[in-house]
Amino acid sequence: MGLPQYLQNETMDDLLAAAWQRVSNKLSIRFGDAVFRSWLKPLLFAGSAASNIKISVPTRFMREWINKNYIDDIRTLWEAEAVSEGYAIELVIADSTVNKEPIAQPQQGNIITAQNWQADQATLEAAPLDIDVQMGAPLDPRYTFENFVVGKPNELAHAAARRVAETSNIVQGCNPLFLYGGVGLGKTHLMNAIAWHIRKNSPERRVLYLSAEKFMYQFIRALRFKEALAFKEHFRSVDVLMIDDVQFISGKDSTQEEFFHTFNALVDQNKQLVITGDRSPSDLEGIEERVRSRLGWGLVADIHSTSYELRLGILQSKIEQMSNASIPQKVVEFLAHKITSNVRELEGALNRVVAHATLVGRPITLETTQEVLHDLLRANDRRISIEDIQKQVASHYNVKVSDMHSARRARQVARPRQVAMYLSKKFTSKSLPEIGRRFGGKDHTTVMHAVKKVEELISTDHEFSQDLEMLSRLLQS
């Protein structure tokens, strides 16, 4: 009542998703970290139908395992949720497209994707202690500056975050601080780190951290319970407001409106704002122009995808934090080499490998690692596209991407084209005719010839083979 129809529609899946997150939190407490991370954490809310909610599970095997071992507990916890009435749980194998390219997936309505799931899994925790906890989200104790590994891809974002955290007044030119980057690259981690730092060093400053999704949820609740005024006052009384995953409010007009006013009120009062998104302010779709332009007012810092060195550093740091894990260096390098998508998956892979070894009581080897991670490895493999290869190769040899499609036979464009064809064969699962088509409609025999030629050069020309080695590394990082 009192709530416009479109808002009601907007919220049903939200409520179900939030309830699922609470169930997930409880599962983590009930089964402990190792079991949770290996089996239960990957269960994601994937939408609802008339009488059930869909929970996605990455593989068939995992579904069987969960059906055998955990489904009763899951059902019991689910049925304890108020909104669960009339919604039975259905475990579905994850849509492989969602699995493969979580970065490219836009936020689909209110469906919780891997993208915002982890950040929000703890946000709707029961038993609020005070209003900030109730309105905001609890901070993750692991997400501190100390635990953040800095490398080239994230050094700007890290420096900006430190700056904002360490200066007790507003940092000129850094308001708002807008951090953006693909999923799992450390945005939430950096935000939490800022919040921890301020809480510790300037406890008098009021820091409010929450996801844009929760902002929306709080806002809708406030409207429903006629607490809009208290909502506004609360958000406008903080010293530092942090909103995570702002892309979530795209298309949600009333939430955007409220966000915009909150934003302006805080900036007017010289309060610090920190905001993250999955892309730069100007690229955010479904967000009003005036909001986008505000978001880009201050310092905009992006986090690039990880490099091999950074992944290695992160793995080493995580392993040091695990007291009892012994992992061969070969396996560590293998993971850094293969799990290139993002840090979250990298961590997940490491945890799965360790959990598996603990469960079966056998040491970790390259073979068991490959076995335990086969689904992840496949998904990571598929991520390199022919376009990526063409771009990378063109820039490496200083030719135009359009030369990849042209029929010019001059050596300085024909050789790079052959290299790109060879790498397309090596790194994608596309067939020779398909590769030919993507290079401006060449015949499959042309591709075959290119592959042979490049193989030949690799074995005879040392410099060339080093070149290719480097290109391959770049593509996989």
Using CB under 6 A, pick the residue from 41, 54, 189, 214 that binds ligand ADP. Answer: 189
Name the 3-class secondary structure at 210: strand
When CB distances are held under 5 to 8 angstroms depending on the partner's kind, the choice from ligand ADP, Mg ion, none that residue 136 binds is: none
Please enumerate in sequence order all residues whose Cβ is within 8 A of that of 191, keeping only pairs 6 or more positions apart, or say none.
143, 161, 179, 209, 242, 244, 274, 276
Least gap, CB of 460 to ligand ADP (angstroms): 41
When CB distances are held under 5 to 8 angstroms depending on the partner's kind, the choice from Mg ion, ligand ADP, none that residue 189 binds is: ligand ADP
Pick the piece of the chain touching ligand ADP (CB under 6 A) from 84-92, 343-351, 363-371, 389-397: 343-351
Residue 340 interacts with ligand ADP (CB under 6 A)? no
The total of other beta-carbon atoms located within 10 Å of residue 73's CB is: 15
Least gap, CB of 142 to ligand ADP (angstroms): 6
Least gap, CB of 468 to ligand ADP (angstroms): 29
The mark string for 103-122 relative to Mg ion (x by CB under 5 A, - otherwise) is ----------------x---
Pick the piece of the chain touching ligand ADP (CB under 6 A) from 95-103, 217-225, 326-334, 341-349: 341-349
Compute, in degrees rounded to 10, the torsion defined by CA atoms 286, 288, 291, 294.
100
Question: Which tokens belong to 88?
Answer: 């039975």
Closest alpha carbon to 338 in 372, 362, 361: 372
Least gap, CB of 416 to Mg ion (angstroms): 38
**Taken in order 243, 246, 249, 253, is the CA torsion positive or negative?**
positive
Residue nearer to ligand ADP on the CB measure, 78 or 148: 148
Pick the piece of the chain touching Mg ion (CB under 5 A) from 101-109, 185-193, 215-223, 421-429: 185-193
Using CB under 5 A, pick the residue from 48, 56, 154, 188 that binds Mg ion. Answer: 188
Q: How far is CA 28 from CA 22, 42, 97, in A?
A: 10, 12, 27
22 neighbors 124 (Cβ within 8 angstroms): yes
Q: Within positions 427 to 466, which residues make up the interface with ligand ADP, using CB under 6 A?
A: none
Name the 3-class secondary structure at 53: strand
Q: How far is CA 108 from CA 13, 102, 196, 248, 276, in A?
A: 11, 12, 31, 9, 18
Measured distance CA(465)–CA(458) in Å, rounded? 5
Residue 183 interacts with ligand ADP (CB under 6 A)? yes
336 neighbors 312 (Cβ within 8 angstroms): yes
Is the backbone peptide bond immediately before 42 cis, with ω within 30 degrees of 0? no
Residue 248 interacts with ligand ADP (CB under 6 A)? no
How many helical (H) and strand (E) elements, i.e. helices and strands, does the chain have? 22, 8
Name the 3-class secondary structure at 211: strand
Least gap, CB of 15 to ligand ADP (angstroms): 23
202 neighbors 168 (Cβ within 8 angstroms): yes
- Residue number of the CB atom closest to Mg ion: 188
Using CB under 6 A, pick the residue from 21, 188, 250, 272 that binds ligand ADP. Answer: 188
Residue nearer to ligand ADP on the CB measure, 143 or 209: 143
Size of the site for Mg ion (CB under 5 A): 3
Using CB under 6 A, pick the residue from 10, 13, 14, 347 that binds ligand ADP. Answer: 347
The total of other beta-carbon atoms located within 10 Å of residue 237's CB is: 15
Least gap, CB of 229 to ligand ADP (angstroms): 32
Pick the piece of the chain touching Mg ion (CB under 5 A) from 151-159, 180-188, 202-210, 379-387: 180-188
Residue nearer to ligand ADP on the CB measure, 119 or 266: 119
3-state DSSP helix/strand/coil % of the chain, to nearest 5 = 60, 10, 30
- Residue number of the CB atom closest to ligand ADP: 186
Least gap, CB of 31 to ligand ADP (angstroms): 19
Measured distance CA(435)–CA(447) in Å, rounded? 7
161 neighbors 190 (Cβ within 8 angstroms): yes
The mark string for 107-146 relative to ligand ADP (x by CB under 6 A, - otherwise) is -----------xx-----------------------x---
Residue nearer to ligand ADP on the CB measure, 199 or 279: 279
Least gap, CB of 319 to ligand ADP (angstroms): 12
Q: Within positions 353 to 372, which residues make up the interface with Mg ion, using CB under 5 A?
A: none
User: Site residues (CB under 5 A) for Mg ion?
Assistant: 119, 187-188
User: Site residues (CB under 6 A) for ligand ADP?
Assistant: 118-119, 143, 147-149, 154, 181, 183-189, 314, 343-344, 347
